[in-house]
């Protein structure tokens, strides 16, 4: 197979944002895993790339009692060891620049939110943050409702008489991490609580997949090239595969994962957003409202799933002990997991988008923990050529074209075509056109999320409609799964590519998964 590497586009520096305005970022759940692994490393990256403003303040907050120095020490270790940075690349001076602006304020009870907002004013004046405030909720999802209420009652939205960002000429944005609720009903309640205190343009619902470079590229790819859109439909496309497979297990998140499982953790948000970007109609303009509107329309066009016919569209798995560079424990042996757990760590789901463009084209989605490789990709499998004039010259079957948009481990896209192989005999073979993103230039997904929130750009965040449509689709299925006793768990080995049921689902349709 031959490969053609295309030329890279413009230099990255012309594609970078201008620095945002000064801000005060409150991080709730600041001593937790997410803050340490993702949020602070992303802030460090933004600072190293000179993408933070001259003036800013970061207030970490959690229940734990500690002082600012202890908090900074804790973060330093976390940032140094973060996979996106690494000990060798860690720059002490750059860290100091950031750390000097990080403070810690514990919150214990609902009453302490008001005091915290009041107590931070002298710091805001010292750091000249212009009363721009971002409230980032990075704590366990079960606490979201209460914290939003506490913040709202304390006047954080800046629309009450109690004083806040907007009343003093700044902005007040609230960022809510995923999972946004645990079903349709709780997501609706969360949206109502948010709307009680904040306007929609102040609310940022997280899905960090939307901020990945290659995921953002899906729309650029589709809507800035004339050649794809005319064939992006059921006339030319046979099926679509969307994969997010991870070598990692559940890390130290046993209790969270037991509550969520793969359908809540990966499908309700990341997987369905990847589908929405692949399936949506072209928006009439590249604006937040129009892009989010089309994404929401695509999600609401997915045909409803009948929980009574689950075997036709869903295959679930849970990993047992296995091997990959050593022995790996089974899910039921992970800390914080019940020894009889019924929680799925793998799912393969077949969906159809019910509209003129996609009728009859299956979208196969799969995501799982402890697979042999970390793979994130969308592959568009085109139909075979209708009349095979080269059949007699080619012993092997001529493979249909496949376009793969790779999210990780490599950030790239590939197009497989058929071409004549050099030689005197007529021989056809696949060739690959690919483009790999330059490494080390792009900001991480979390850095991009933070930057957009500072810039007031909601395009890469989910709207209330998107969140509710995806819950509407999945809630009946999740409820049914939770009511069943799954007898064959664990049904795949850690380090293998998933349960046989997932392969069987595709082979019933005469298809096979792309290799992991
Ligand atoms: C998170 C899930 O949202 O996404 C994790 O909670 C998952 O379980 C992670 O591992 C995958 O994201 P990324 O960016 O590491 O591919």
Looking at residue 324, what is its pLDDT?
A: 83
pLDDT digits (tens, 9 = 90+) for 347-362: 999 999 999 999 999 9
Q: Ligand 1 mean position to 221 CA, how many Å?
A: 24
**Over the Cα atoms of the chain, what is R_g?**
24
Strand partners, 302: 353
Enter the DSSP assignment of 36.
I
Ligand 1 site, residue 265, Cβ cutoff 6 A? yes
Active site residue 270: yes
Which ligand 1 atom is nearest residue 407's CA? Answer: 16
- The residue to mutate among 247, 256, 266, having the most atoms of ligand 1 within 8 angstroms of its beta carbon, is 266
Looking at residue 13, what is its pLDDT?
A: 54
Ligand 1 site, residue 246, Cβ cutoff 6 A? yes
Atom 8 of ligand 1, nearest CA residue: 265
Atom 5 of ligand 1, nearest CA residue: 265
Contact 207, 270 (CB under 8 A): yes
Looking at residue 161, what is its pLDDT?
A: 42
Looking at residue 316, what is its pLDDT?
A: 98
Looking at residue 5, what is its pLDDT?
A: 52
Which ligand 1 atom is nearest residue 244's CA? Answer: 16
Atom 13 of ligand 1, nearest CA residue: 209
Which ligand 1 atom is nearest residue 178's CA? Answer: 3
Q: Ligand 1 mean position to 273 CA, how many Å?
A: 14
Looking at residue 391, what is its pLDDT?
A: 73
Q: Ligand 1 mean position to 375 CA, how many Å?
A: 12
The 3 state secondary structure assigned to 148-201 is HHHHHHCCCCCCCCCCCCHHHCCCEEEEECCCCCCCHHHHHHHHHHHHHHCCHH
Q: Ligand 1 mean position to 271 CA, how many Å?
A: 11
Helix axes 68-81, 92-99, angle to 10 degrees: 140
Which ligand 1 atom is nearest residue 374's CA? Answer: 16
- The residue to mutate among 32, 84, 213, 246, having the most atoms of ligand 1 within 8 angstroms of its beta carbon, is 246
Which ligand 1 atom is nearest residue 248's CA? Answer: 10
Please count the other Cβ atoms lying within 10 Å of the Cβ belonging to residue 122. Answer: 9
Q: Ligand 1 mean position to 410 CA, how many Å?
A: 16
Residue spans of the chain under pLDDT 70: 1-17, 159-168, 394-396, 440-442
Q: Ligand 1 mean position to 499 CA, how many Å?
A: 21
* Cα 343 from chain centroid (whole Å): 21
The catalytic position among 103, 173, 270, 273 is 270
Q: Ligand 1 mean position to 310 CA, how many Å?
A: 25
Q: Ligand 1 mean position to 322 CA, how many Å?
A: 21
Atom 2 of ligand 1, nearest CA residue: 265
Contact 158, 172 (CB under 8 A): yes
Ligand 1 site, residue 466, Cβ cutoff 6 A? no
Which ligand 1 atom is nearest residue 260's CA? Answer: 6
Strand partners, 420: 428
Question: CB neighbours of 106 closer than 8 A, spacing ≥ 6?
Answer: 61, 62, 63, 64, 65, 66, 112
Atom 6 of ligand 1, nearest CA residue: 265
Ligand 1 site, residue 414, Cβ cutoff 6 A? no
């Amino acid at each position: 197979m031959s490969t053609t590497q295309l030329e890279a586009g413009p230099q990255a520096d012309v594609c970078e944002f201008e620095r945002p305005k000064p801000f005060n970022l409150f991080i709730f759940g600041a001593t937790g895993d997410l803050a340490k692994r993702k949020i602070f490393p992303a802030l460090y990256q933004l600072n190293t790339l000179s993408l933070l403003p001259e003036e800013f303040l970061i207030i970490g907050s959690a229940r734990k009692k500690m002082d600012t120095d202890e908090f900074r020490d804790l973060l330093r270790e976390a940032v140094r060891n973060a996979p996106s940075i690494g000990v060798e690349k860690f720059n002490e001076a750059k860290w100091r620049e950031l750390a000097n602006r990080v403070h810690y304020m514990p919150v214990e009870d609902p009453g302490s939110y008001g005091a915290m907002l009041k107590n931070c004013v002298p710091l805001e004046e010292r750091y000249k943050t212009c009363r721009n405030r971002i409230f980032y909720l990075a704590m366990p999802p079960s606490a979201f409702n209460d914290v939003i209420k506490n913040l709202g009652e304390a006047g954080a939205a800046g629309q009450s008489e109690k004083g806040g960002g907007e009343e003093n000429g700044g902005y007040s944005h609230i960022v809510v991490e995923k999972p946004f609720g645990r079903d349709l009903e709780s997501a609706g309640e969360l949206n109502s609580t948010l709307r009680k205190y904040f306007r929609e343009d102040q609310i940022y619902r997280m899905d960090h997949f939307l901020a990945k470079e290659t995921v953002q590229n899906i729309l650029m790819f589709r809507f800035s090239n004339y050649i794809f859109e005319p064939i992006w439909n059921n006339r030319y496309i046979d099926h679509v595969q969307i994969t997010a497979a991870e070598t990692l297990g559940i890390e130290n998140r046993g209790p969270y994962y037991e509550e969520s499982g793969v359908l809540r953790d990966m499908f309700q948000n990341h997987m369905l957003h990847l589908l929405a970007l692949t399936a949506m109609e072209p928006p009439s303009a590249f604006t937040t409202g129009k892009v989010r509107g089309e994404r929401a329309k695509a999600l609401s066009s997915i045909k409803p799933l009948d929980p009574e016919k689950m075997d036709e569209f869903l295959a679930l798995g849970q990993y047992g002990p296995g091997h990959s560079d050593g022995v790996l424990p089974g899910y039921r042996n992970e800390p914080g997991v019940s020894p009889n757990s019924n929680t799925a760590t793998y799912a393969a789901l077949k969906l159809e988008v019910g509209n003129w463009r996609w009728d009859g084209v299956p979208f196969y989605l799969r995501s799982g923990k402890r697979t042999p490789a970390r793979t994130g990709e969308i592959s568009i499998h085109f139909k075979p050529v209708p009349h095979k004039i080269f059949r007699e010259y080619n012993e092997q079957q001529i493979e249909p074209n496949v376009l793969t948009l790779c999210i990780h481990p490599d950030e790239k896209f590939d197009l497989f075509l058929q071409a004549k192989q050099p030689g005197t005999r007529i021989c056809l073979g696949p060739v690959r056109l690919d483009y790999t993103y330059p490494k080390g230039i792009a900001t991480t997904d979390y850095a991009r999320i933070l930057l957009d929130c500072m810039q007031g750009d909601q395009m890469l965040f989910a709207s209330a409609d998107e969140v509710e449509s995806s819950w509407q689709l999945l809630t009946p299925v999740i409820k049914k799964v939770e009511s069943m006793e799954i007898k064959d768990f664990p049904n795949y080995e850690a380090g293998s590519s998933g349960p046989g049921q997932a392969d069987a689902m595709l082979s019933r349709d005469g298809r096979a998964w792309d290799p992991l």
